[in-house]
Amino acid sequence: MLGRNYMWRKSEEGKPSAPGANAPEPAATTPNLNPTATPSATPAAEISVASAPVVSPAAPVAAASASTTAADMAAALSNVATISSGLKIRGDISGNCHLIIEGEAHGKIHLANGRVTVGPTGRVHSDIEAPEISIEGTVQGNLRARDSVRMGPTSHVQGSVLSPRIRIEDGASFRGKVEMTRPGEAAPSSGSASSQTPKAAVAAGPRG
């Protein structure tokens, strides 16, 4: 029914200029990794290595226990665990140190403190939840960050992104939904609408 264009005959002078158009973009800043933060409720990481043992982590992925002191926490955060290229891990990962993924991970990743970095060769097939998330490789899952999410120029992300700060560099490939939270705001728990990938959203809604 094209051609009924009378709606367009409205005066332009009253057209509101969009507010906030010139608002500065929030910069992706290095998060303040608070060493005194309460340790994760998860007492230990659940890692099952499908093909080979983890050989290169500088510290175990499960670095903190419920009784961890602040000093222990600071020490844990100074450590970095690495899932090296060629390794494939099935199962959930949780902890309080930084995590670099150059291999393949199938399972939820939850770091109460620390940064998750998916390197150029890294592949993650599940959700990631951490204060800071940096992606250079491939992620099929939702990203929830308390501080920031960065998608580098070689990143491929399919899923939702929920974070107070989002940095997307030119060349990034992204398919999904972006929502911003207030800094420090806890991300909604799994299963919320905002955590749905486009595919999951289809399952939740009608489709013709």
Partner 1 sequence: MDWMAKQRPNSTATARAPVKPGPESSAASSANVRVSNGLKEFLWLITDSGQGKILDLGAVFQSTVMFFIEKGFRLSTEDLLRSWKEFLLAEEESLRNAPVGDGNGRVSQGMLAGKFLDTALQYPEDHFHGVLAWDLFDYLDAELLPRVLERVYTVMRPGGAVLASFHSRAPERFNRYKVVDSQTIELVPTPTLAVHARIFQNREILDIFGKFRSSKTFVGRDQVREALLLK
Task: Report in angstroms how near the CB of residue 110 gets to partner 1 at its nearest.
Answer: 25
Q: Using the rule CB under 8 A, is 182 a contact of partner 1?
A: no
Subset of residues 95 to 124 that bind partner 1, contact rule: CB under 8 A: none
Among residues 68, 172, 183, 188, which is the contact residue for partner 1, using CB under 8 A? 172
Helix (H, G, I), strand (E, B) or coil at 93: strand
Task: Report in angstroms how near the CB of residue 159 gets to partner 1 at its nearest.
Answer: 11
8 A C-beta contact, residue 152 and residue 168: no
Strand segments, DSSP code E, in 8-158 are: 48-49, 80-83, 88-90, 93-95, 98-101, 104-106, 109-111, 115-118, 123-124, 128-135, 138-140, 143-151, 156-158
Q: Using the rule CB under 8 A, is 29 a contact of partner 1?
A: no
Phi, psi of 131 (to 5 degrees): -60, -40
Q: Using the rule CB under 8 A, is 41 a contact of partner 1?
A: no
Residue 82 or residue 197: which is nearer to partner 1 going by CB?
197
Phi, psi of 95 (to 5 degrees): 165, -165
The contact mask relative to partner 1 for 146-165 (x = CB under 8 A, - = no) is -----x--------------
Measured CA to CA, the distance from residue 122 to residue 136 in angstroms comes to 8
- DSSP assignment letter at 149: E
- For the chain, the first-to-last Cα distance in angstroms comes to 22
Q: Using the rule CB under 8 A, is 53 a contact of partner 1?
A: no
Torsion sign across C-alpha atoms 48, 200, 122, 60 = negative
Among residues 53, 67, 191, 207, which is the contact residue for partner 1, using CB under 8 A? 207
Q: Using the rule CB under 8 A, is 183 a contact of partner 1?
A: no
Q: Using the rule CB under 8 A, is 191 a contact of partner 1?
A: no
Task: Report in angstroms how near the CB of residue 133 gets to partner 1 at its nearest.
Answer: 16
Measured CA to CA, the distance from residue 3 to residue 134 in angstroms comes to 49
Q: Using the rule CB under 8 A, is 26 a contact of partner 1?
A: yes
Among residues 20, 57, 58, 62, which is the contact residue for partner 1, using CB under 8 A? 20
Which spans of this chain sit near partner 1 (rule: CB under 8 A)? Answer: 1-2, 4-23, 25-26, 151, 166-170, 172-180, 198-199, 201-202, 204-208
